[in-house]
Structure 1
Amino acid sequence: MNTPLIVTEQIRDLAVAEIADLSAPELACLLDDLGTQKAALRCIEDKLDAALDRRYGARAGQCRAEAGKDTGTVRFDDNGFVVIADLPKRVKWDQDRLRHAAEIIRQSWGDDPADYVKIKLDVAEAAFANWPRPVRELFLPARTVETGKPSYRIENQGGAR
């Protein structure tokens, strides 16, 4: 492997136009270096998160228990610093059971399930592309296509840099 041509620290003071004018090998080096830095930061963040949980997890759990809650934010003191410990609630619903409950509300109770649950219709893009033309045309007015953030990869065709 060759010495890197350019690293991310070298582009901090460059304008976007100057970066865009770099050669493909230089851009490839930047992408590689950025990927390496992101992975290193993720590793550091994971270790720090684990260390904070090891140090404060039990105390935060005790504070939540004293407050009569399983999740949420608690605050406590540590040597003159306020520790704010948050344990977010992540709720997941079994879709089949929700559909069943919605049908009971509709059929047995005579109520509108939309008063209790969100009902989201969705179409798989691969299915849409394979539908017969009249079906696609029927659904086309309900379809909006948006784009995400562009991303690029640069790979050396020969494998060496």
Structure 2
Amino acid sequence: MNNRITLDDLMGMPVGEISGLPVEQLALLLDDLAEERARLKRLDDWLNGALALRYGERARALRHALGKDAGTVRIEEAEGFVAICDLPKKPEYDQGKLRAAVETIRSWGSNPDDYIGIEIKVSETRYGAWPPEIRRLFEPARTLRVGKPGFRLERPKPR
């Protein structure tokens, strides 16, 4: 007889009951979940590869005809289906060149804020290594938020 709880079993169980399962059961469920995520990722990659093969060239040609390098195009299909093909823009900017551009705008007597948003980021690792007087200077501007908690179970190493 197999008493192993499956991912499908979890859907019908209260969270409090799940939290009371033996740790080995929880570890097995986490393993199952990792395998399912990996399987779904492979399926997603495979299906999107097929869609790219089917629509990629036509979408590229449509974008080219519209004078677009990226963006969304629509391809009419049979039975009223429409393939929506999106190629998102993901611009990246060289930070050193941006700083130089900001200084050029300032040298012209203009305000760079009229053209760009400037966000200053502080590395948490660097913040932790700063001397106390520097840290105190930045503390009023700092708000610490936390993300979603994550949990893993590490199996004991075999002896």
Structure 1 length-normalised TM: 0.90
User: Within the alignment, does 1:147 sit opposite 2:139 as a pair?
Assistant: no
Deviations 1:38-76 (A, max 9, x none): 000000100111110011101111222222222111112
Alignment match, 1:103: 103
Deviations 1:4-47 (A, max 9, x none): 93221111111111111111111101100000000000001001
Alignment match, 2:66: 67
Higher relative contact order (CA 8 A, sep 6+): 1
Q: How far 1:159 moved relative to its partner?
A: 4.3
CA RMSD of aligned residues (A): 1.7
User: Within the alignment, does 1:56 sit opposite 2:43 as a pair?
Assistant: no
Identity of counterpart residues, as a percentage? 43
Secondary structure of the corresponding residue to residue 109 of structure 2: coil
Call closer, same or farther: CA 1:157–1:4 in 2, change over 3 Å: farther
Alignment match, 2:112: 113
Q: Is the 8 A contact 1:71 1:88 kept in 2?
A: yes
Alignment match, 1:87: 87
Structure 2 length-normalised TM: 0.91
Aligned residues: 157
Call closer, same or farther: CA 1:159–1:11 in 2, change over 3 Å: farther
Structure 1 spans left out of the alignment, 5+ residues: none
Secondary structure of the corresponding residue to residue 85 of structure 1: strand
Question: How far apart in 1 are the matches of 2:42 and 2:35?
Answer: 11
Call closer, same or farther: CA 1:59–1:159 in 2, change over 3 Å: farther
Q: Is the 8 A contact 1:8 1:30 kept in 2?
A: yes
Alignment match, 2:32: 33
Where does 1:150-161 land on structure 2 (aligned, <5 Å)? 150-159=149-158
